[in-house]
Structure 1
Amino acid sequence: MQENKAINLALSAPKVNGILIRPGETFSFWHLIGPDTARHGYKVGLTISNNKPSTGVGGGHCQFTNLIHWMVLHSDLTIVEHHHHDGFDLFPDYKRQIPFGTGTSIVYNYLDYRFRNDTDNVYQLLVYTDGEYLQGELRASKEQKSTYQICAENEFFSKEDGIVFRNGTVIRKKIEKRSGVCIHEETIRTNHARVMYDTSGLEIRKTAPSSIRE
């Protein structure tokens, strides 16, 4: 599955690499990639189906949009379509580098990932594979006046009616470069995801606060 995912990403990366998103334009992942079918050379890879790991032709593309989404979150661009499958925590953390709940879910011709350029800046996506990793860079014709920080807060596991859930919030902070002052803070995701793996090694609370469940 890992080898096939690498093949799928290597097929798709050139279709996105170098794309310009000018003021007023909207980026659509599937508009650029097209059908990820066997006829187009795609292999069977890992997918998420019915809230559990599965396999399917074109598997691995969620990793592609995960990367794009993470870069867009650090920009002035506006996300207009974003789906996720984080109602379930499918895999235990292993070298996690980004907060839980910042992933994406995509299905060709059904669930897309799209963002719009509402600025006067021109952005460019650079993406490529190096044989082991999918690499990405988001460039802009002019320097942004702000930087962004994405972090997780109040993370914990809870047990409710015998079911273990992962809880927490994902915060996005907009920081003015010149002063270093946070000028805006927003909650972009509130997680309450059912844990689908062995929970014997987790520190678990008996119940979750109502503010997390809502």
Structure 2
Amino acid sequence: MMQYRFVKRSPFRIFLGRKWFTLKRYVEWCTNSKKYAKTRAAALLPEVVFTHKTPLVRQLDKVDMWMQHNKIINLRIAAKKLDGVMIYPGETFSYWRLIGKPTYRKGYVDGMVLVNGKVSSGVGGGLCQMSNLIYWMTLHTPLTVTERYRHSHDVFPDSGRTQPFGSGATCVYNYIDLQMLNETDMPYQLHVYLTDSHLVGEWRAVKPTGRHFEVYEKKHWITHEFWGDYMRHNIIFRRVYNASKELIADEYITENHAVMMYSPFLAEANETCES
């Protein structure tokens, strides 16, 4: 069995690393050959390819409720930047390039962030709920995910989970990004908005895609690592069906490996932030 090691770094090294990777991303945005999606359309495309919603407020252990209420403020601001974005054939959707840097000046407030598996607060906190939603929806479309980062820690037990463990996408401005490429022959449109209780998203298109996707966990296991912590692992696949509901492919999606921040033998638990 392969062993995994979580490397703890000093605060100074983390600070320098963030500066370096942030600068590297800015340079990449300016110099690479990708054509980034930037057009927003007020009129919605007629065909809903996939839709999903996640609750705005949950009872999470050791998380103050003000963080979740502030998260809603942050999600509303980000949703205004993303709603209606068109991804034309050959274009790449970049989560952070569209949203921009969350700052107090833009109206963002402190919300929940996870730092090395610990709950903390930071400006723009809670935007991972949006990236989680978009990633999950994208797995149910013909769009190609080209950049996604898994959560390095499994913070909350998953009683009541409706999605496989590891089916989200973490985000840190600007270098931990979520990107997908439209390799199809028609445009797609992202529609995201908030109700009183949920964050709601849709991928839309001009016509039916002729494909149906079923994302599932193919393998799951927990290991007790030599340094004392438990790690959770899984492999995610998706089944692809044609318009006649015939299985035409069974595709590998990703592997997840995360340090567990709770006992793996809990009988009952709270919901995770992933679903």
TM-score normalised according to structure 2 size: 0.68
Moved more, 189-198 or 169-178: 189-198
Aligned equivalent of 2:131, options 45, 57, 65: 65
Question: 1:169-211: CA deviations, max 9, x gaps?
Answer: 2111111121x22211122222332211133426xxxxxxxxx
Percent identical pairs in the alignment equals 44
Residue 3 (str. 1) matches residue 69 (str. 2):
yes
Tell me which moved more, 100-109 or 163-172.
Answer: 163-172
Q: Give 1:132 shift.
A: 2.0
- Structure-to-structure mapping, 1:117-132, within 5 angstroms: 117-132=182-197
Counterpart pick for 1:147 among 212, 235, 255: 212
Return the match for 2:81 from 15, 20, 25: 15
- 5 Å-filtered alignment, 1:14-163, equals 14-85=80-151, 87-161=152-226, 162-163=228-229
User: 2:254 — aligned with what?
Assistant: 189
Distance 1:118 1:40, change over 3 A: same
User: Gaps spanning 5+ residues in structure 2: where?
Assistant: 1-66, 268-275
**Contact in 1 for aligned 2:194/2:200 (Cα 8 Å):** yes
Query: Does the Cα contact within 8 Å between 1:122 and 1:142 map onto a contact in 2?
Result: no
Question: SS at the partner of 1:38?
Answer: coil
Give the C-alpha shift of residue 90 in structure 1: 1.2
Q: Is the 8 A contact 1:159 1:165 kept in 2?
A: yes
CA separation in 1, counterparts of 2:174 and 2:225?
36
Root-mean-square deviation (Å) = 1.6
Higher strand proportion, which one? 1
TM-fit CA distance, 1:27 = 1.1
> How many residues were matched structurally?
200
Q: Cα distance, 1:127 vs. partner?
A: 0.4
Residue pair 1:84, 1:105 contacting (<8 A) in 2 also = yes
Q: Secondary structure at the match of 1:191?
A: strand
Answer yes or no: is the 8 Å Cα contact 2:212–2:242 preserved in 1.
Answer: yes
Letter in 1 for 2:195: D
Q: CA deviation at 1:150?
A: 0.4
Distance 1:48 1:189 in 2: 22
Other-structure match for 2:43: none
* Greater displacement, 120-129 / 43-52: 43-52
Q: Do 2:224 and 2:230's aligned partners in 1 also have CA atoms closer than 8 Å?
A: yes
User: Aligned partners of 2:175, 2:223: CA distance in 1, in Å?
Assistant: 33
- 1:50-96 CA-to-partner distances (Å, cap 9, x unmatched) read 233221100011110111111111011111111122x3211101321
Is 1:28–1:115's contact at 8 Å kept on the other side of the alignment? yes
Equivalent-residue separation in structure 2 for 1:167 and 1:35 (angstroms): 32
Q: Is the 8 A contact 1:165 1:192 kept in 2?
A: yes
> Which whole-Å CA distance do the structure 2 matches of 1:8 and 1:160 have between them?
37
State whether residues 219 and 236 of structure 2, in contact with CA within 8 Å, keep that contact through their aligned partners in structure 1. no
Consecutive unaligned residues of structure 1, counting only runs of 5 or more, are 203-214
Following TM superposition, by how much is the alpha carbon of 1:21 offset from its aligned partner in structure 2, in angstroms?
0.9
Give the aligned partner of residue 168 of structure 1. 234
